[in-house]
């Protein structure tokens, strides 16, 4: 049997449509070629990241756009190869598309939001964000419909992209890699406030994850009911694990206050007990 006969062998034949071995072989070649090209482009972007020519988030965003464009063209060419023209397909399924559009509005909104995120670059892979619900996590992937967020507990959240577009999202990594945080503590009335300030600044200066510039500062924020309320403000780039930094600071502050005999008061209440009246 000749090669021409093998390639021309009809696998499916219905009316004017026929699928031959040649068509199937061509489709496989197209899809495999696109897969190889996609992998080569991914490696190219990875090399640019390693050389520092592209940021991680920018590189991933560009790669996602290129990948989806390549696969879209591959699908269109594959359909055209087997004789299914896109215009005919859309025209013949117009009613179905309307029904699907009404039922899948949220999915289409997520897709358009994903394209917006990738092109706009307001969120990038590696950014530390906080959602309206108070969840803090690192952006691991930005896909067309959903994004993957890894929380501090190493839990992956699959978030629809429309949520990231429509809701208020705090991006701690958008402009600066270092962010300001604070730890609050109260000291007893009558404490030496200069010594309190010095002890707090010393604790911040000794922590390896806290920047010396901008320098940490101490604020006297309030005269509380039972304490003089202080606030230690500091800058760190450990935004994802900042709760560990705060915990370290609290341990250090407790030890420093014990060393300098600075007391942390607890709320006190005076209770007056009125004896019941006796009847004669």
Same fold, 112-171 and 179-259: no
pLDDT by residue, tens only, the chain of 280 residues: 565 656 556 666 666 666 677 778 888 888 888 889 888 888 887 887 777 766 666 677 677 778 878 888 888 787 777 776 656 555 555 555 555 555 567 777 887 888 788 777 778 888 888 887 888 888 888 887 888 999 888 888 899 988 888 888 888 876 667 888 999 999 999 999 999 999 999 999 999 999 999 999 999 999 988 899 999 999 998 888 899 999 999 999 999 999 999 999 887 666 777 777 766 5
- Per-residue model confidence (pLDDT) at position 1: 54
For the chain, what are the domain ranges? 9-92, 112-171, 179-259
pLDDT at 11 (0 to 100)? 63
d(CA 91, CA 77): 18
Give a three-class secondary structure readout of the chain. CCHHHHHCCEEEEECCEEEEHHHHHHHHHHHHHHHHHHHHHHHHHHHHHHCCCCCHHHHHHHHHHHHHHHHHHHHHHHHHHCCCCHHHHHHHCHHHHHHHHHHCHHHHHHHHHHHHHHHHCCCCCCCEEECCCCCEEEEEEECCCEEEEEECCCCEEEEEHHHHHHCCCEECCCCCCCEEEEEEEEECCCCCHHHHHHHHHHHHHHCCCECCCCCCEEEEEEECCCCEEEEEEEEECCCCCHHHHHHHHHHHHHHHHHHCCCCCCCCCCCCCCCCCCCCC
Q: How far apart are alpha carbons 255 and 200 in whole angstroms?
A: 11
Please tell me the predicted confidence (pLDDT) of residue 262.
93
May I ask the CATH architecture of the domain 179-259?
Answer: 2-Layer Sandwich (3.30)
pLDDT score recorded for residue 271: 75
Instruction: Please say whether the structural domain 112-171 has been given the CATH code 2.30.30.60.
Output: yes
């Amino acid at each position: 049997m000749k090669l021409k006969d093998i390639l021309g062998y009809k696998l499916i034949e219905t009316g004017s449509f026929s699928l031959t071995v040649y068509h199937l072989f061509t489709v496989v070649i197209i899809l495999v070629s696109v897969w190889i090209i996609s992998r080569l482009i991914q490696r190219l972007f990875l090399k640019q990241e390693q050389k520092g020519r592209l940021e991680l988030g920018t590189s991933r965003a560009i790669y996602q756009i290129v990948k989806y464009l390549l696969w879209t063209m591959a699908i269109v060419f594959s359909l055209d190869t087997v004789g299914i023209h896109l215009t005919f397909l859309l025209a013949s399924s117009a009613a179905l598309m309307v029904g699907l559009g009404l039922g899948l509005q949220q999915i289409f909104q997520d897709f358009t939001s994903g394209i917006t995120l990738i092109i706009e670059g307001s969120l990038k892979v590696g950014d530390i964000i906080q959602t309206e619900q108070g969840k803090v996590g690192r952006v691991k992937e930005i896909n067309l419909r959903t994004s993957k967020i890894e929380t501090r507990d190493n839990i992956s959240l699959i978030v629809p992209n429309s949520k990231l577009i429509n809701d208020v999202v705090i991006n701690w990594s958008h402009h600066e890699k270092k962010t300001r945080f604070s730890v609050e503590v109260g000291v007893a009335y009558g404490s030496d406030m200069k010594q309190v300030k010095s002890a707090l600044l010393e604790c911040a200066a000794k922590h390896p994850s806290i920047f010396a510039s901008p320098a940490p500062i101490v604020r006297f924020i309030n005269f509380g009911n039972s304490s003089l309320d202080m606030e230690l403000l500091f800058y760190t780039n450990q935004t994802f694990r900042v709760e560990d930094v705060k915990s370290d600071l609290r341990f250090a502050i407790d030890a420093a206050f014990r060393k300098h005999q600075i007391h942390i008061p607890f709320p006190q209440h005076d209770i007056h007990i009125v004896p019941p009246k006796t009847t004669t």
